[in-house]
């Protein structure tokens, strides 16, 4: 993936560059510090992914995203900002992810993997099934039967209409392979987007997901809540 870094703070750009250097599948094609420079760099370098700050001199990150939205081919935008309150507007602009500073390596990897899945639309189909283990045998679980996927210490459990099985793939691998067919609710939970029917807010501030076909109500993390809410609005 060709990645462009945009942040008005040199130290922030340097930190992102060091995190990106860990990945063999990433090429940093530019590093810029203001909104106008972002547009120019996108035109000249044609990055696959744009790591974009919001508060920058000149055009803000959201203004840049709005201008890029009019292009027939635009980069996957991952906002990297210290301001949590812009998350909803960011997803309304079609952002792939929204990372809060200081950006953690794990969250950056998740965002890049999500961007990669959108850049490779043929990959998410994955044959229409998941491979699970049953004793010494392998079994197939149709994706249409999957209710949710949760990560434990060593394995991922897939809950489906016929019960539950363990699978060897990590949540990150599944998220990349399945692409937009799933949405992340929490660091340890993915659900098929077609199963998501609503949210339930609790008095203690937690938010639970309501899923079709199961009584399970996995918690939605505060970090992932804006994307989940936007999906419910979009699919309504």
CATH number of the domain residue 110 falls in? 3.40.50.2300
Residues 163 and 91 in one domain: no
Answer positive or negative: Cα dihedral of 178, 232, 196, 62: positive
- Please determine, for residue 124, whether its predicted confidence score (pLDDT) is greater than 50: no
Has residue 66 been placed in a domain? yes
The verdict on 115 and 152 lying in the same domain is no
Residue ending a domain, choose from 119, 152, 169: 119
CB hemisphere CA count around 232 (13 angstroms): 16
124 in any annotated domain: no
Residues 106, 133 within the same domain: no
Contact 81, 101 (CB under 8 A): yes
| Structural domain range at position 90 | 2-119
Is 45 found in the same domain as 141?
A: no
pLDDT at 122: 37
Query: 145 vs 25, which has greater pLDDT?
Result: 145
SS (H, E, C) 153-190: CCCEEEEECCEEEEECCCHHHHHHHHHHHEEEEECCEE
Give yes or no for residue 133 having a pLDDT over 90: no
Please identify, among 85, 119, 153, the residue that sits at the C-terminal boundary of a domain: 119
Q: Are residues 32 and 88 in the same domain?
A: yes
What is the DSSP annotation of 183-236? Answer: EEEETTEEEEGGGEEEEEE-TTS-EEEEETT-S--PEEPTTTHHHHHHHHHHH-
The values of phi and psi at residue 31, to 5°, are: -145, 115
Question: What's the pLDDT band for 123 if we cut at 50, 70, 90?
Answer: very low
On whether both 189 and 214 belong to a single domain, the answer is yes
Domain count, the chain: 2
Within a domain: 146: yes
Q: What is the DSSP letter of 128?
A: G
Task: Say if residue 78 is in the same domain as residue 136.
Answer: no
Do 137 and 229 lie in one domain? The reply is yes
Whether the Cβ atoms of residue 232 and residue 220 lie closer than 8 Å to each other? no
pLDDT score of 53 more than 50? yes
The model's pTM = 0.56
pLDDT category of residue 101 using cuts at 50, 70 and 90? very high
**pLDDT score at 234:** 76
Tell me the per-residue pLDDT of 14-52, one tens digit each, with 9 for 90 and over: 999 999 999 888 999 999 999 999 999 999 999 999 999
Contact 93, 75 (CB under 8 A): no
């Amino acid at each position: 993936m060709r990645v462009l870094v945009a942040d008005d703070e040199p130290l922030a750009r340097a930190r992102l560059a060091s995190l990106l250097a860990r990945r063999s599948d990433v090429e940093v094609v530019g590093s810029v510090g203001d909104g106008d420079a972002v547009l120019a760099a996108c035109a000249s370098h044609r990055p696959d992914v744009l790591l974009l700050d919001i508060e920058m001199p000149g055009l803000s990150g959201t203004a840049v995203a709005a201008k890029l939205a009019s292009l027939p081919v635009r980069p996957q935008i991952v906002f990297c900002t210290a301001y949590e309150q812009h998350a909803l507007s960011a997803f309304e602009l079609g952002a792939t992810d929204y990372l809060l500073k200081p950006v953690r390596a794990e969250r950056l990897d998740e965002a890049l993997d999500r961007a990669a899945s959108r850049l490779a639309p043929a990959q998410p189909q994955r044959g229409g099934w998941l491979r699970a283990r049953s004793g010494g045998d392998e079994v197939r679980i149709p994706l249409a039967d999957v209710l949710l996927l949760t990560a434990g210490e060593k394995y991922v459990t897939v809950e489906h209409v016929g019960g539950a099985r363990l699978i060897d793939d990590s949540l990150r691998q599944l998220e990349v392979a399945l692409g937009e067919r799933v949405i992340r609710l929490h660091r340890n939970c993915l659900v098929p987007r077609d199963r998501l029917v609503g949210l339930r807010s609790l008095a203690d501030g937690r938010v639970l997901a309501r899923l079709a076909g199961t009584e399970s109500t996995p918690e939605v993390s505060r970090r992932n809540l804006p994307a989940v809410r936007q999906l419910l609005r979009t699919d309504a």
